[in-house]
Amino acid sequence: MTSSDLAVRVRDLRKTYGDFSAVDGVSFDIHRGETFALLGPNGAGKSTTIEILEGYRDRTSGEVTVLGEDPQRGRLDWKARLGIVLQETGEQGNVTVREQLAHFASFYPNPRNVDEVIAAVGLEQKAGALIRTLSGGQRRRVDVALGIVGRPELLFLDEPTTGFDPEARRQFWDLVRELSDEGTTILLTTHYLDEAAQLGDRAGIIANGGLVDIGRIDEIGAPDARVPLVRWRENGVPQERRTREPGAVVAQLFDALGHEPDGLEVVRPTLEDVYLGLVGHHATEIIELERAS
């Protein structure tokens, strides 16, 4: 793979504040056109990493390239190729939704149609409303609209569906898939692990400033973390067996009992299960190292 195939290239990224390392030797790539989920608990270093990629924060050391440029030296023409949806904007707005979007659209050489963007985020009924009169969830939709109106090559989505109801989240997922189909590269951070599983091509998990795993959504985690679990009840007593061949175990149970076991279920680990295992294991290692020192 050549450098032209990469939207983001990060090598040995570090950010320190005195003796504290917020980001400690992180390296990863994001391919053009993919949706990459950067996951981790609060304080893990992912927000600092994102802000460095966006050009909002300077790194201490390491190499970073975003759309072929060093973010620390990115000019206005480089910034116009980015779309950024922050966790919080503090936007109050004495202008209407349509006015705000039209204003932002004017900054870009090839913006999306404003009314189409308003429809895409489900704000058709609020297009003429002042932003300060909107609910928190509706303002969040305005944030997303502002992030995509410029037709960015790379879109940063930092906790984009906070405040969305379940139906709005599903509609937003459809929008992200459409953007991805159009070739937009997307860097997503979210605490909703089902969201990362639905939207991400690959994921990186960061904890205590370091990257603990990276890979395709359906492959991330140690091999044992993906092993299914067969559960059933035998004479009222819960039973379970972890196996790579759950079908064979179920067939054995049928043969032995002559009927379907009570409470039979096959549980396949989700991204959330894998994530919690990785983050929890890493936290345990840190505690043990601190006790030993």
The values of phi and psi at residue 281, to 5°, are -65, -40
Summarised one tens digit per residue, pLDDT across range 203-218 is 999 988 999 999 998 8
When pLDDT is cut at 50, 70 and 90, the band that residue 9 belongs to is very high
| For residue 289, pLDDT beyond 50 | no
139 in Cβ contact with 131 (< 8 Å):
yes
Region 250-255 average pLDDT: 88
Under 8 Å between Cβ of 139 and 91: yes
177, pLDDT greater than 50: yes
Task: For residue 227, name the pLDDT band (cuts at 50, 70, 90).
Answer: confident
The predicted pLDDT at position 3 comes to: 60
Q: By the 8 A CB rule, do 144 and 155 touch?
A: no
DSSP string, the chain: --GGGEEEEEEEEEEEETTEEEEEEEEEEEETT-EEEEE--TTSSHHHHHHHHHTSS--SEEEEEETTB-GGG--HHHHTTEEEE-S------SSBHHHHHHHHHTTSSSPPPHHHHHHHTT-GGGTTSBGGGS-HHHHHHHHHHHHHTT--SEEEEESTTTT--HHHHHHHHHHHHHHHHTT-EEEEE-S-HHHHHHH-SEEEEEETTEEEEEEETTT-S-GGGG--EEEEEETTEEEEEE-S-HHHHHHHHHHHHSSPPEEEEEEPPPHHHHHHHHHHHHHHHHHHHHHH-
pLDDT of the residue at 165:
80
- pLDDT class of 283 with cuts at 50, 70, 90: very low
Q: Identify the residue with better confidence: 147 or 291.
A: 147
Which of the four pLDDT bands, split at 50, 70 and 90, describes residue 260? confident
Using one digit for the tens of pLDDT, what is the confidence trace for 55-85?
999 999 999 999 999 999 989 889 989 999 8
The pLDDT > 70 percentage for the chain reads: 92
Q: How far is CA 28 from CA 12, 24, 36, 182, in A?
A: 9, 13, 10, 23
Q: Is residue 207 within 8 Å of residue 284, measured between CB atoms?
A: no
Q: Is the pLDDT of residue 163 over 90?
A: no
For tokens 């990863």, name the residue. 28
Separation of CA 186 from chain center: 9
pLDDT for 220 equals 83
Between 11-15, 92-96, 233-237, the lowest mean confidence (pLDDT) is in 92-96
pLDDT for 288: 39
pLDDT at residue 101 greater than cutoff 90: yes
Phi, psi (rounded to 5 degrees) for 150: -85, 5
What number is the average pLDDT over the span 23-32?
95
Mean pLDDT rounded to a whole number for the chain:
86
> Is 33 within 8 Å of 185 (Cβ atoms)?
yes
137 pLDDT more than 90: no
Q: Which pLDDT value is given to residue 118?
A: 92
